[in-house]
Amino acid sequence: MDFVFTEEQQMIAETAQGFFGENATSDRTRAAMAGDGVDRQLHRDFCEELGLGGVIVPEELGGVGLGYVEMAIVAEAAGYNVAAMPLLGINIAAAMIAAGGTDAQKSDLLPAILAGEKIAAAVGNDTVSHDGDKISGRFEFVPHGNVADVFILAHPDQAWVVHADTPGLSIITHTTMDQTRPLATLVLDGVAGEPLADTQAAITASQPAAWITLAAEALGGAQACLDRTVRYANERVQFGRPIGSFQAYKHRLADMMIEIEQARSAVYWAACANDENSDDPQLALHAAKAFCADTFFKCAADMIQLHGGIGFTWEHDAHLFFKRARSIQTLLKDGNWHREQVAKQILGEVA
């Protein structure tokens, strides 16, 4: 069976690729890294001009009203350019509020996130303590937690909206490998949160939004690694001919391409399975996150090696991809955890 985009999906792909290709440049990304990790103009333009912040949010709530395939298309384009913007936070927070937020949160907070007026971050932790609306504990490794205006914090039996200026909330910013997606730790001491209306619905909605976004970003990044390396292979000449003509070099590129095509299948399998609510959406999610993250890391490492000496210099863009790839591998559970979930599901079905 051949999977092909519809005309609308192809148009979204071309629009997103053009937008990020023109705006998420290396210079702008490095400028964001030198600051707080966010290209705020890119974030505003993405939300306001492109209007794709709420791809999976229903139209009646101010979103685009499309599915996870379209969300993956956008995330793939962002990952291809290592975009320094809080796309992950937009997707997760918007999904959680749309699925489980109160009427007030849907009417007041959600539009501000989709319009780029507020930066949102979402994180879960089953060890924090709470007494009603008062929360105490730590939420660690929060993507863009250093710049977020609002947090969606989740415990298995309750989720809350917490604003960054809420008394009792302390934010610890970390120096991390991927400076395009900085991490922070939230320390809460009796912080008053605004409960979501349906915690379980919000948590359920957060999983495909989170893991498909990361898997699609990884796919886009891996494809960029291959494309950039192919260009270099055709430009760099040794012994009187392009280095891409040497058999050993071509084999490495072919291996990258095979891994990427498998990753592409994994991403859009996960997206379709969750759009269509098939029998195995969770299996597809775990498989996509684990496989795509590892594929990206392998391709980023190969990109550095196949560029030779110049690839090992910190100034080369290969390291932007390498750092993003390493970050995605460990973010929102590592590959071992996701593979364990796949094994449990398969063994459960066999039993």
248 falls within a domain = yes
d(CA 36, CA 27): 15
pLDDT tens digit string along 267-298?
A: 999 999 999 988 789 999 999 999 999 999 99
Residues in contact with 3: Cβ distance below 8 Å, sequence separation at least 6, in sequence order = 265, 268, 272
Task: State the average pLDDT over residues 97-115.
Answer: 96
Indicate the pairing of strand 194-195 with strand 183-192. Answer: unpaired
Instruction: Check pLDDT > 60 for residue 133.
Output: yes
Strand partners, 163: 150
Q: Which of 325, 85, 335, 319 is nearest to 217 (CA)?
A: 325
DSSP states of 41-105:
HHHHHIIIII--TTTTS-GGGTS----HHHHHHHHHHHHHTT--S-HHHHHHHHHHHHHH--HHI
At residue 2 the predicted structure's pLDDT band, cuts being 50, 70 and 90, is low
**Residue-wise pLDDT tens digits, 230-251:** 998 877 666 667 766 567 778 8
Nearest to 161 by CA among 62, 93, 63: 93
**What is the pLDDT confidence band of residue 351, given thresholds at 50, 70 and 90?**
very low
Identify whether 223 is part of a domain: yes
pLDDT in tens, 3-41: 789 999 999 999 999 999 999 999 999 999 999 999 999
Confidence check: pLDDT of 157 > 80: yes
Cβ neighbours of residue 292 closer than 8 Å, sequence gap 6 or more: 214, 215, 216, 218, 219, 222, 263, 266, 267, 328
Is residue 98 one of the residues assigned to a domain? no
pLDDT digits (tens, 9 = 90+) for 169-227: 999 999 888 999 999 999 999 999 999 999 999 999 999 999 999 999 999 999 999 99
Answer for the pair 299, 222: CB distance below 8 angstroms, yes or no: yes
pLDDT (tens digit, 9 = 90+) per residue, 72-104?
A: 999 999 999 999 999 999 999 999 999 999 999
Structure tokens at 97: 């509020």
- DSSP assigned state of 198: -
**Rounded to 10 degrees, what is the CA torsion of 9, 15, 17, 21?**
180
* Nearest Cα to Cα of residue 317 among 62, 12, 33, 117: 33
User: 275, 208 in Cβ contact below 8 A?
Assistant: no
Which CATH number do you get for residue 287? 1.20.140.10
pTM: 0.94
Residue 345: which domain range? 201-350
Domain membership of residue 92 (yes or no) is no
* Number of independent structural domains in the chain: 1
319 located within any domain: yes
